[in-house]
Amino acid sequence: MANPPRIWISNEAPAKDEIVRVRAQVVHVMESGLRQDEAGNPIPRDTLERFEARLNEALLLDWQPETAVAQNPYIEFTFRARESGVLKMVWSDASGIFAEAEKTITLS
């Protein structure tokens, strides 16, 4: 996960209780461990284990992807803007590597 995640938010200054849509994509190979290389050796499993999104300390989404998720996974979710704060998203993979992204949400 050498590249930073791509993040798009429908409105970084929503009105209170407005629905905010978030789109996020991270660059990751998502190797299932079921394929073989040209020499017939198994390619080691290298998948995302977890995605978590929080606004301040409030958990918005906790996702544990399965083996069948495509390379460079894209996720989209919504939440109700109840307070201003920092939207923090964290991806972690089986190797213990993390990718993080943050956006500030300010109620208008």
Domain edges within the chain: 6-35+42-105
- Asked if residue 100 lies in contact with residue 1, where contact means CB atoms within 8 angstroms, the answer is no
Better-predicted residue by pLDDT, 34 or 2: 34
6-35+42-105 placed in CATH 2.60.40.10: yes
pTM of the model: 0.85
For residue 8, list its beta bridge partners.
Answer: 23
pLDDT-derived band at 53, boundaries 50, 70, 90: very high
Q: C-alpha angle 68/35/96, rounded to 5°?
A: 65
Q: Taking all residues of the chain, what is their mean pLDDT, rounded to a whole number?
A: 92
- Asked if residue 18 lies in contact with residue 36, where contact means CB atoms within 8 angstroms, the answer is no
Q: Is 78 exposed, middle or buried (0-12, 13-18, 19+ CB in 10 A)?
A: exposed
Q: Is a pLDDT exceeding 80 seen at residue 74?
A: yes
